[in-house]
Amino acid sequence: MKIIKAVKRYRYPYLFILPFFLLFLIFQLIPLIWTVGISFTEWNGIGSPKSVGLGNYQLLMKDYMFWDAVKNTVYYWVTGVVFILLLALLVSSLLNNKGLKASRFFKTASFLPNVCAAIAMGIIFGMLFDENAGLINQILVTFGGTRVPWLTSVTMSKIPVVILNVWRNTPWFTMIVLSGLLNISPEYYEAATVDGATAVQKFFKITLPSLSNILFFCFITLTVDSWKIFNEPYILSGPGTSNVSLFQYMYQSGFSIFKMGYAAAIGCILTLILLIISIVQFAIRVRQGEM
């Protein structure tokens, strides 16, 4: 009864938020449930799905291509979180410097990589890292080095993907961190200066604690984005599965060889991994008393 009374009382606010829940139901919740159901079948996208029980999941456990994709995605996740957050902190601190001249120009210029088309940038990076005619190898040769098979080597093919990923995503998180820096009261730094604190002490005692919630948000967002990385490894493809991401392998399974049930199983595993990581991250945050 209380629920019914609350709905009647707040019926107009509920009507305003109703479109979101309808879109969520139609385009997210129902497809998710349907995907889970398809993951227990063998289906090529045409005709009726054939039930195989846990067959797709059992096959995943034996599929070396799946495990290579998982390892590559973990690599992209770790490198992305470390380099993007560090660079975002560094660049945002420089942009927040009151002594910086033409700050508007530098803020605009630093954000440009984020608005560039991922596919176009992937093609350009492919040219830059070309083994024979790429600019990167030309620079290495000029300084006495040797040509590196960036995109044809199993061990080196992930590096261009990481560099492109960091280059494209750092500006977005830089702006988020910069917004947090702008909200820190200057009085904290003034009081620390009076107490004789150094710049390093101010950073670790004032800046980082004040940015803890924003950095946690960036960490969660980067985690989700890293596990869904697709454009970069798809354009800068290496030999075999040397730099294939899990999201890319799911796409290839579904739309290249038309194993829709197998691709759905990969999608369910990916969703489960993200769910577990998110729960662990929030549990750690709660234990720290920050939420």
CA–CA dist 122, 160 (Å, integer): 9
How many CB atoms sit inside 10 A of residue 228's CB?
Answer: 15
pTM of the model: 0.89
Helices 212-227 and 260-287 cross at an angle (nearest 10°) of 170
Query: Model confidence over 169-183: pLDDT tens digits?
Result: 999 999 999 999 988
Query: Model confidence over 45-89: pLDDT tens digits?
Result: 888 899 999 999 999 999 999 999 999 999 999 999 999 999 999
What per-residue confidence (pLDDT) applies to 289?
Answer: 65
Query: Model confidence over 95-109: pLDDT tens digits?
Result: 988 777 888 888 888
pLDDT level of residue 286 (50, 70, 90 thresholds): confident
Mean pLDDT value of segment 251-267: 93
Query: Model confidence over 132-167: pLDDT tens digits?
Result: 889 999 999 999 888 999 999 999 999 999 999 999
What per-residue confidence (pLDDT) applies to 1?
Answer: 62
pLDDT level of residue 285 (50, 70, 90 thresholds): confident
CA–CA dist 48, 188 (Å, integer): 66
Class of the CATH-defined domain 54-287: mainly alpha
Provide the residue ranges of all domains of the chain, joining segments of one domain with +: 54-287
